[in-house]
A and B are shown apart, each in its own frame.
Chain A
Amino acid sequence: MSNPFGNRTSDLLDISGLTVALPLGGRHRTVLSDVSLRVGAGEAVGLVGESGSGKSMTARSIVRLLPAGAHTEGSIRLGGADVAALRGPALRDLRRRVPMVFQDPRAHINPVRTIGDFLTEALRAHSRTPRRAGQERAVRMLEEVGVADGRRRLRQYPHELSGGLLQRVMIAAALLTEPHLLLADEPTTALDVTTQAEVMAILDELRRERGLAMLFITHDLELAAAVCDRTAVMYAGRVMEVRASDLLHQHPLHPYTAALTAARPCLDRRAERLVTTAGRPLSAFEAPDGCPFATRCAHVRQRCHDTRPGLRPLAGGQVACVRAEELHQERAVPHE
């Protein structure tokens, strides 16, 4: 399952050289710059980054939910088909096959309609399932996402459900259309930790049972590592590193990934001081020429400012850093 380079033919999602500029403050500003990422069938890929990194924008690009006036370059292929060419019914079909689960479920559900209406609406519209059968399936699906007493839930309204419960309803709705790829945009960020653990467990289990691929967007490197086969780290609208999740966390290749790991306090011990990086995370249009992390990087050299590194293979992953090999050697030597 974990296959860093992916087998081209089995790639479910193939993003290649994606650059997106949005109209902000009267002119177009780059928010994604040359993003390339692949998700194989049944694979879970994490997309990790801080604010402005472009992780949500990447997901929105896939289902063509970008703000009006966006300029897009590069290609997004889903099951071999070019997403940019889709129109009308084909586009709706895409969004059904690639459902998205958002951070704030309440903002994405009609508050005056029942849970039952919400769950069966999609079914009836797309596959013309009769009402009864649709409800049966919805109840079964709710059971699968750990919502007991499904019949009663179908009659309830969103405001009667807690955030955790509502997010499970959203997951149920996403899975009802039997998708091949799920886009999860910070689905547990607004939830309590114990609820997060439950929701993640459900998501992880169902995904594995159904061989469903997932692009999991989060700011939490450790959460991504726990549920994803591979993780991509984004910064300033670019992919800095893609690697198998366990390796990424323990032996990061890119200095930015290393900085992100070091900045997070540890549950098991108290650090004298947290290792911090000066400055704040940048958006793509604020980033300097050359490596976008160069102005904040502890390992910076002149050539980092001169050339903008692309992703290249290293140690079973991909990394966009001109000094990656050197730094990898340096780090590897003391351990051996």
Chain B
Amino acid sequence: MSEAILRVEGLRKVFGQAVAVEEVSFSLPRAGALAVVGESGSGKTTVARMIVGLDRPTAGRVTACGRDRSQPARSARERRRRGGEVQIVFQDPYASLDPRQSPAAAVEEVLRLHTRLDRGRRRARVAELADLVGLDERQMAARPARLSGGQRQRVAIARALAAEPRILILDECVAALDVSIQAQVLNVLSEVRERTGVAYLFISHDLAVVRQVTDDVIVMRHGSVVERGPTGQVLDAPEHPYTRLLRASVPGPGWRPTRRITQQAKQAKETR
């Protein structure tokens, strides 16, 4: 896969005594969408933080746009360049914006950092990005406290896209949203990918959402990858017992929780 825009090889992270991530490798193709699925403690968020440089890998390599980023950036220029390659949107819509800064100002700050556009052009670009994520001028000028969770998450997406990254990491970015708002944001994400060709690393515990947004999936458990493949295939015919358990745990028509699942959980634990 020479087309990979993001490549992760043998990634490992140890916090004190605990191994959070162990031997994780995957690659994300240009304009692709890869899901990282797992439950709490699976290490999926730690993987994301290592890719963007918020945590330093204990071992392994991260290559984005052909450049290694396993070591901390040495210069301000290098930091900015990395920012222009990979961006991230976090889960909590209520803490992801500076409470004292309007969305427009937040997006403009990023434009000032990454581009040489003049004031007028920056304004136009802010409007373009707002349009891309479906926010109007009034919302872009409001204080974050006046925006709903879904609107804030759109601002966070617009702010991330302002750097024109090739890769966008979405860390549980719709998990905190109401069902109807979640659908709006998921549609926005599909449109953005079509229109900009940005690749997604989509971190989620929600299999239905993953099916809607991604092409491929890796399933993580206790820091390691247990299964990988095209999203449809993995969800329709899961091979690893843990993936099967995950699949069977999702409520849906005809689903009935029984202690059988408890038995399965025990089995899954034993097989690991």
* Contacting residues, chain B, for A68 (C-beta < 8 A): none
* Contacting residues, chain A, for B2 (C-beta < 8 A): none
Question: Which of A219, A222, A270 is B211 in contact with, Cβ under 8 Å?
Answer: A270
Residue of A nearest to B214 (CB): A270
A211 close to B (CB within 8 Å)? no
Q: In the complex, A263 Cα to B212 Cα: how many Å?
A: 11
Contact A194 to B249, CB < 8 A, known contacts A260-B179, A266-B211, A280-B178: yes
B258 close to A (CB within 8 Å)? yes
Question: Which of A221, A246, A270, A276 is B232 in contact with, Cβ under 8 Å?
Answer: A270
Question: Which of B236, B245, B251, B265 is A222 in contact with, Cβ under 8 Å?
Answer: B251
B14 close to A (CB within 8 Å)? no
Chain A interface extent, by class? 35 or more
Question: Which of A194, A195, A249, A259 is B180 in contact with, Cβ under 8 Å?
Answer: A259
Contact A265 to B211, CB < 8 A, known contacts A146-B262, A193-B39, A202-B259: yes
Question: Which of B182, B207, B212, B252 is A271 in contact with, Cβ under 8 Å?
Answer: B212
Output the least CB separation between B264 and chain A (Å): 9
Question: Which of B150, B209, B259, B261 is A194 in contact with, Cβ under 8 Å?
Answer: B261
* Contacting residues, chain B, for A269 (C-beta < 8 A): 211
Q: In the complex, A270 Cα to B151 Cα: how many Å?
A: 24
B 92-112 binary contact with A (CB < 8 Å = 1; else 0):
000000000000000000000
Residue of B nearest to A275 (CB): B183
Q: Are A226 and B256 in contact (CB under 8 A)?
A: yes
B 229-251 binary contact with A (CB < 8 Å = 1; else 0):
00010011000000001111111
Q: Are A205 and B259 in contact (CB under 8 A)?
A: yes
Q: Are B212 and A265 in contact (CB under 8 A)?
A: yes
Question: Which applies to chain B's interface (DSSP): helix, strand, loop or mixed?
Answer: helix
Q: Are A50 and B180 in contact (CB under 8 A)?
A: yes
A196 close to B (CB within 8 Å)? yes
Q: Are B252 and A222 in contact (CB under 8 A)?
A: yes
Residue of B nearest to A260 (CB): B179
B40 close to A (CB within 8 Å)? yes
Q: Are B187 and A274 in contact (CB under 8 A)?
A: yes
* Contacting residues, chain A, for B196 (C-beta < 8 A): none
* Contacting residues, chain B, for A221 (C-beta < 8 A): 179
Q: In the complex, A270 Cα to B217 Cα: how many Å?
A: 14
Contact A225 to B251, CB < 8 A, known contacts A264-B183, A273-B187: yes
* Contacting residues, chain A, for B246 (C-beta < 8 A): 193-194
Q: Are B184 and A276 in contact (CB under 8 A)?
A: yes
Residue of A nearest to B211 (CB): A270
Q: In the complex, A281 Cα to B181 Cα: how many Å?
A: 8
* Contacting residues, chain A, for B148 (C-beta < 8 A): 280
Q: In the complex, A276 Cα to B180 Cα: how many Å?
A: 6
Q: In the complex, A3 Cα to B164 Cα: how many Å?
A: 57
* Contacting residues, chain A, for B236 (C-beta < 8 A): 268
* Contacting residues, chain A, for B179 (C-beta < 8 A): 50, 219, 221, 260, 263-264
A 275-302 binary contact with B (CB < 8 Å = 1; else 0):
1110011000000000000000000000
A133 close to B (CB within 8 Å)? no
A residues near B, CB below 8 A? Answer: 50-51, 146, 192-198, 200-202, 204-205, 219-223, 225-227, 246, 249-250, 259-260, 263-271, 273-277, 280-281
The 5 closest A-B CB pairs, nearest first, are: A263-B183, A265-B212, A201-B257, A192-B39, A197-B249
23 contacts between A and B (CB under 8 A): A50-B180, A193-B246, A193-B249, A194-B249, A197-B248, A204-B256, A226-B251, A226-B255, A227-B257, A260-B180, A263-B180, A264-B179, A266-B208, A267-B211, A267-B235, A267-B247, A267-B250, A267-B252, A274-B186, A274-B187, A276-B183, A276-B184, A280-B178
